[in-house]
């Protein structure tokens, strides 16, 4: 489903050029549960941004469901993000002044759904993550775990091809973190494709396959124990 | 992505910063208020004047030493000051010459300072119009007798110490009795009231009922001085002979003034048309001035909107990043911020129009003009406000739409 080959990414920082990725090749299939690991500076954030179509590679090939992403315009990328990718962030990234329901509805607004369909699908998504009774709460009225569930509901609501989670438990205590990972497990069992970027071994162990990055290159790519 | 959804987003984020939105709005409101207020007043006055508010009465015209206050600039002041006054004798001669041409020839003398009338222990305020007139004064000035009688030719010829008074004077001096036959004092001189005028109300902010008129000959005898110059109002017999009457009147006036054929006219002619034209000239100048001032105010307000939108874009960088990460296109973000700017501008403009129309009509009503709603100006106002919103909101909105999603998400 995802196929990248020879992907490099260079950043210019002042007069210095930073090589964030130095030719990465990766294939991800439908209903995989993948963890991307690596120390900071290894290029894992860059890779995640690239996989999430927030960024395009400097060189190399990126195919998403057979579409060439590397050459896409900003608006085409926005559409891919909207329809194919569900982001889950470390800091949740909910709109603070909107209710849980409005937050979950947001991707559907940009997808052009009618108000009625939006409402129904957002409610369904929130019920799926166990927040059927918290829909009218704003983020600051919810606990960290609940906020992350809202974020996961938002990621799921447009039925994306992959869920891309960046340190999803980084801002949560370990018990809540375990709950969130159990939720990912359920989503995986329901047939979703999940990519988790993390530096924690405990979190990575939930995945079925672990890709380790170091200095912009893939160091290892093998099934989890 | 539907436009009404973006509308909702824009309005709800304006609601979050209510005070800020209102303050930014108020700049637009002030600019729009001033121009709409002025245009409403001017349009209302112009409408009233053109639709038959006859300043001089129908088919009437007037001779005076000085041109109308509307158009007298400073540059020619001296030329007019050097003119000879129009004397009562000249006026009477003119009147005789006009016999058979015009029936109503009103000779009027006024003091430059208003007066106070006294009856026993009661007094009016010291701002009464006080002047001298002949038997045609009332007709020429659209007054009617309510009780009592008008001056007769004999009263004027013999300069009898009589007067007619307006309702305002009567109410003050004679709250519970008839004024007819009573003797009042003005500037220490005694006059017997022979007529009470019917109520006229106010015009251009001035009460028409605070008035005392004595025979013009009596007025000249008691208060005549070298600064006074006669006003002569003449009414043509009909609209058909109006222009002809004016031609004859100018000739009569030249004879009365003793001008040689080569001399220029040393008097001014007023007609309703000339007064309307000179009012229109002033109105245009006022309108042009208010346009300039409003334009500057709106420009400043537009810069204010741009400023606040730039602040807003910076503050909401993270929000923009989130929206982009879940699939907002450039155009969606651009539209959202543009609508915010236009909404501020339009709301400010709407309030400004309402306030301006209210204030303008208030002023118009005070000046006895009828109420109008300046649809055209209101529409132009809203159009200009939308333009300001789009014009000054575009750069901030474009900046927001062009943010890099990764950078924006990282922003704290």
Nearest to B32 by CA among B371, B378, B387: B378
Residue A41, phi-psi category: left (phi > 0), alpha (psi -120 to 50), beta (remainder): left
| Contact of B151 with B162, CB cutoff 8 Å | yes
**What confidence category does residue B75 fall into, taking pLDDT thresholds of 50, 70 and 90?**
low
At B299-324, the pLDDT tens digits run 999 999 999 999 999 999 999 999 99
Q: CA B149, CA B159: separation in Å to the nearest integer?
A: 16
At A147-184, the pLDDT tens digits run 999 999 999 999 998 999 999 998 899 899 999 999 99
Whether the predicted pLDDT of B58 surpasses 60: yes
In a domain, A105, yes or no: yes
**Residue of chain A minimizing CA distance to B316:** A95
Q: CA A49, CA A56: separation in Å to the nearest integer?
A: 8
| pLDDT at B1 (0 to 100) | 57
Distance from CA of B316 to the nearest CA of A (A): 10
Q: Is A79 in contact with B332 (Cβ distance < 8 A)?
A: no
In a domain, A35, yes or no: yes
In a domain, A67, yes or no: no
In a domain, A34, yes or no: yes
| pLDDT at B28 (0 to 100) | 93
Structural domains in chain A (count) = 1
CA dihedral A177, A181, A182, A187 (to 10 degrees): 140
Query: Which residues form the domain of A90?
Result: 30-42+78-223
Q: CA A162, CA A150: separation in Å to the nearest integer?
A: 17
**Interface contact A89, partner B, CB < 8 A:** yes
User: What distance separates the 2 farthest-apart alpha carbons in chain A?
Assistant: 53
In a domain, A70, yes or no: no
| pLDDT at B273 (0 to 100) | 77
Whether the predicted pLDDT of B53 surpasses 70: no
Considering chain A, what is the average pLDDT of its residues? Answer: 91
Q: What is the ipTM of this complex?
A: 0.93
CATH number of the domain to which A141 belongs: 3.40.50.300
**Interface contact A177, partner B, CB < 8 A:** no
**Residue A11: strand pairing partners:** A18
Q: What is the mean pLDDT of residues B118-126?
A: 90
Q: Is B2 in contact with A112 (Cβ distance < 8 A)?
A: yes
Q: Which of residues 65-84 of A touch B (CB under 8 A)?
A: 74-75, 78-79, 81-83
**Could you give the 3-state DSSP secondary structure of residue B129?**
strand
Order of all β-strands in the sheet with A193-197: A85-88, A162-166, A193-197, A33-37, A209-214, A217-223
CB < 8 Å to B16, chain A: 97
At A37-50, the pLDDT tens digits run 998 888 888 899 99
CB < 8 Å to A54, chain B: 324-325, 405-406, 409
| Contact of A22 with A16, CB cutoff 8 Å | no
Q: CA B19, CA B21: separation in Å to the nearest integer?
A: 5
DSSP B265: P
Give pTM, 2 decimals.
Answer: 0.73
Percent of chain B with pLDDT over 90: 52
In a domain, A62, yes or no: no
Considering chain B, what is the average pLDDT of its residues? Answer: 88
**Interface contact A119, partner B, CB < 8 A:** no
Segment holding B352, helix H or strand E: helix B330-366
Q: What is the mean pLDDT of residues A135-154?
A: 94
Structure tokens at B103: 């029936």
């Amino acid at each position: 489903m995802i196929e990248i080959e020879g992907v490099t990414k260079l950043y210019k920082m002042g007069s210095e050029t930073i090589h964030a990725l130095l030719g990465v090749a990766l294939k991800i299939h439908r209903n995989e549960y993948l963890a991307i690991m690596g120390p900071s500076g290894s290029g894992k954030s860059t890779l995640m941004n690239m996989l999430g179509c927030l960024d395009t590679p400097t060189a190399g090939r990126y195919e998403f469901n057979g579409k060439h992403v590397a050459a896409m315009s900003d608006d085409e990328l926005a559409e891919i993000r909207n329809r194919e990718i569900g982001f889950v962030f470390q800091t949740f990234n909910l709109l603070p002044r909107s209710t849980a329901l409005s937050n979950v509805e947001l991707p559907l607004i940009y997808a052009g759904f009618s108000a009625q369909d939006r409402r129904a699908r957002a409610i369904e998504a929130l019920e799926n993550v166990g927040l059927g009774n918290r829909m009218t709460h704003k983020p600051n009225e919810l606990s960290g775990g609940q906020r992350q569930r809202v974020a996961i509901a938002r990621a799921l609501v447009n039925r994306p091809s992959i869920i891309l989670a960046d340190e999803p438990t980084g801002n949560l205590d370990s018990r809540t973190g375990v709950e969130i990972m159990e939720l990912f497990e359920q989503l995986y069992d329901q047939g979703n494709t999940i990519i988790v970027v993390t530096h924690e071994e405990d979190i990575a162990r939930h995945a079925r396959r672990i890709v380790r990055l170091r200095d912009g290159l893939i160091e290892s790519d093998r099934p989890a124990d | 992505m539907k436009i009404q959804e973006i509308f909702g987003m824009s309005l709800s984020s304006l609601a979050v910063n209510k005070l800020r939105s209102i303050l930014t709005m108020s700049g637009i409101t002030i600019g729009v208020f001033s121009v709409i207020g002025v245009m409403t007043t001017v349009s209302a006055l112009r409408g009233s004047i053109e639709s038959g508010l006859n300043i001089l009465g129908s088919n009437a015209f007037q001779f005076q030493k000085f041109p109308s206050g509307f158009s007298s600039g400073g540059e020619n002041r001296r030329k007019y000051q050097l003119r000879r006054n129009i004397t009562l004798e000249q006026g009477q001669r003119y009147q005789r010459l006009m016999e058979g041409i015009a029936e109503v020839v009103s000779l009027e003398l006024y003091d430059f300072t208003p007066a106070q009338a006294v009856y026993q222990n009661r007094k009016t305020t010291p701002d009464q119009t006080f002047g001298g007139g002949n038997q045609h004064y009332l007709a020429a000035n659209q007054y009617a007798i309510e009780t009592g009688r008008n001056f007769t030719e004999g009263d004027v010829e013999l300069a009898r110490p009589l007067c007619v008074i307006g309702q305002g004077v009567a109410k003050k001096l004679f709250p519970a009795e008839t004024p007819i036959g009573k003797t009042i004092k003005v500037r220490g001189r005694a006059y017997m009231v022979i007529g009470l005028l019917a109520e006229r109300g106010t015009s251009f902010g001035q009460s028409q009922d605070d008035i005392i008129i004595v025979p013009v000959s009596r007025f000249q005898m008691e208060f005549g001085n070298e600064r006074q110059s006669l006003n002569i109002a003449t009414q043509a017999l009909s609209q058909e002979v109006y222009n002809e009457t004016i031609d004859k009147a100018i000739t009569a006036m030249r004879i009365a003034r003793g001008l040689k054929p080569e001399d220029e006219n040393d008097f001014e002619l007023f007609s309703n048309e000339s007064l309307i034209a000179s009012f229109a000239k002033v109105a245009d100048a006022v309108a042009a001035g208010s346009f300039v001032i409003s334009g500057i105010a709106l420009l400043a307000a537009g810069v204010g909107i741009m400023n606040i939108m730039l602040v807003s874009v910076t503050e909401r960088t993270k929000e923009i990043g989130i929206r982009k990460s879940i699939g907002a296109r450039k155009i969606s973000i651009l539209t959202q911020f543009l609508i915010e700017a236009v909404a501020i501008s339009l709301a400010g403009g709407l309030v400004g129009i309402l306030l301006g129309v209210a204030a303008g009509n208030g002023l118009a009503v005070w000046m006895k003009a009828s109420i109008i709603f300046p649809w055209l100006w209101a529409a132009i106002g809203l159009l200009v406000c939308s333009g300001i919103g789009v014009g000054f909101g575009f750069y901030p909105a474009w900046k927001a739409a062009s943010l890099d999603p990764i950078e924006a998400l990282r922003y704290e």
